[in-house]
Structure formats: structure tokens, C-alpha cells
Amino acid sequence: MMFKLLKQSKKSSARLGQLKTAHGTLSTPFFMPIATKAAVKNLTADDIKVLGSKILLSNTYHLYLTPGMEVIKAAGGLHQFMDWQGAILTDSGGFQVFSLSKIRKILPGGVQFRSHLDGSTHLLTPKKVLEIQRIIGSDIAMILDVCPSAKAGHEEVAEAVKMTTQWAKKAEKEINKQKNNKQLHFAIIQGSVDKDLRSQSLADLKALKFDGYAIGGLAVGETNQEMYEVLDYLAPEMPADKPRYLMGVGTPENIVQAVKRGVDMFDCVIPTREARHGRLYINLSKSYKYETINITNSKFKKDFSSINKTNLKQYSKGYLHHLFKTGEPLGMRLATLNNLEFYLRLMERLQTDIKNNKF
């Protein structure tokens, strides 16, 4: 089987599993570093391998626009292009397209948009998104969905759910035409914070039998409590024998709370984005509490203690402060290594605690 549930916690809804992909088996729950444009910012593929991640997330929309499918196809796929031999998940590009509210138009068959790079017009359909992801060669391909804004009214959210289902049905037909394709396909549940619409979206998509199911349209402006409430009623109704993916989440505490509610997969720009601004995640405790520091603060100028006790123990906070203050690119690289290592160790801690009946 593609996904195997290994353990269900007796203390919460947390679970351990194994997800088999064309480029390796992944232990769940796991976090995916973001390689939007075929690179994790400031790091190499070897860096990610050393950190211990076995999967990256790349972006269909951005890769489609540049370098383009002709280049990626000529390179032999994204794995070869970026020299990454682990697994890759590609999102559908839907979120990026729908965030371009002034330069896109939703049509019954797909979404038409103008490139943010050169203004050229493009049409993404469920079929075309699958074709793009086949050329990319990702291990997990997301189905095109409609992601409403956090401020959308009930009618707009209901229409997004309806169209998401229609597009998923079209995608399923295309997938069924494929032969000997090892790529996995995940559908995306929408519905904002409306319980009835979320439940309807899940019921519609469950009937289509995808390899996995993602929860989209959260972490887009609602409160943490609203997000947790959605997970409280939605996760238990999601197929137990399929991986559950919460898209775009989140802070360490968001991840801990979502794992406790039965979520298996996560991605977020937070660790890499905040690293570029000098914010570091440090000192993860046994109770999952942690600290954040801004290394650009003057109090770190003469702090010669190690950045952390693991992968950057040879470098001091004072040195990293100096790198940021002088604009040396090495500063962002070291901060990114720190933050991703923190997130990946967080996931290892969660796996161990679930295994030992502590979470």
C-alpha cells in the first residue's frame, strides 16, 4: 500500500505512518522545506539531505513560468534539474493564481491569469496542471482547486467548493487514463471556516478516491482557534488510510496542535522567510516550548555562545549578528540552516513521542 498507518496514539489523535513515494518512503508526521523555484533559499540540495529531510515542496505556477516546461523536460525532470534525489511535492499553483486577484479570471474550465513576470496570458485547467506536474516529475501532485480569500462571503466560498469538486472530477478522469504512473495525487478540501461547506467538500472528494487529502484555505487570515476548530471536526472524518496534509502551516505550535488532531504532513515558508530577517528558532523543550530571538538585536553583538548545540555549534551568536549587520549572505544561510534544523528536529521529537505513548 502507498500509505501505511503504523500507530494511533492513545493520548490524542496523533498518528505515525509511512508514505511510499517513487523517491523513497517517508515517515509521518513530516515537514516539507519550501523550494518554490527549485531551490530552498540560501541552501543546496546537499544541505537539505544533511539536515535529514527526505522531501521538498516546489511550486507548479512558478516553475511553469520560469524556467518553463521545455527546460525542465530537457533536463530530465525537476529531480535532475535541481540535483535532488529525495521526494518532491508540487502544489497545483492554485493558491498563487488566486492571490493574483487583479490579473486572473476564474472560468468554468479553469483559471485564466496574466504572468506576474511579463504580462502574458495563460490558462490553467485541471488537465493542464496535471500535465505540467507530470513533466516536472514530482512524487506527489496536487489537484487544481479554488482557494477563496479569508474575507470571502458564504456564497463565494460555496462556489469555490463546488468548482473545486468539479475540477477534481475532471482531474480524476485524466489520472485514470494514465498508465504505469508512480505519481501520487492529492485533492484539496476547501470551505473556509464553514463547517457545512468543509464537510461537503470532504464528502465530495472522498468519493473520488485520491491517494491523499489536503486541507487548503487555512492559515490565510483566520485565528488559530478557528483553524483548530476546523481540524477538530474535519480530521476525524478524513480517510484513516490516506495521508492528511495541512497546507501552508505553520508555526511550531500550529504543527504540534495539528499533529495532535491527526494531521500527517506540513509545509510553510516561516522557517526560511524568518531566517532571512534574522529571526531564529532555538531551545525546543520537552514540552514543545521554544524561544525565538532576533539576531540583529544589539545585545547579541558580544554574545559568543553557540548559535545552537547541534549543526551550528561552531558559530557564535555574535558572529551571526555581525554577518547580518554587514549584509554578508552567509548570515541568511546560517540562520536558514538553524531554523530548518529546528523544524525537522521538531518532527522527529513528535514521531518519537507518539511512538513512546507520550503525545
Report, as residue numbers or ranges, the catalytic residues.
91, 267
**Cβ burial, residue 25 (10 Å; 0-12/13-18/19+):** exposed
Q: Contact, 282 vs 343, CB < 8 A?
A: no
Sign, Cα dihedral of 351, 356, 358, 359? positive
State the helix-helix crossing angle for 252-260 and 329-355, rounded to 10 degrees: 20
For residue 211, the one-letter residue type is D
| Residue reference for cell 538553524 | 338
| Residue reference for cell 467548493 | 161
For residue 303, the one-letter residue type is D
Cα–Cα dist 281/197, whole Å = 36
Q: From the CB of residue 221, how many other CB atoms can be counted at a distance below 10 Å? A: 12
Q: Is 202 helix (H, G, I), strand (E, B) or coil?
A: helix
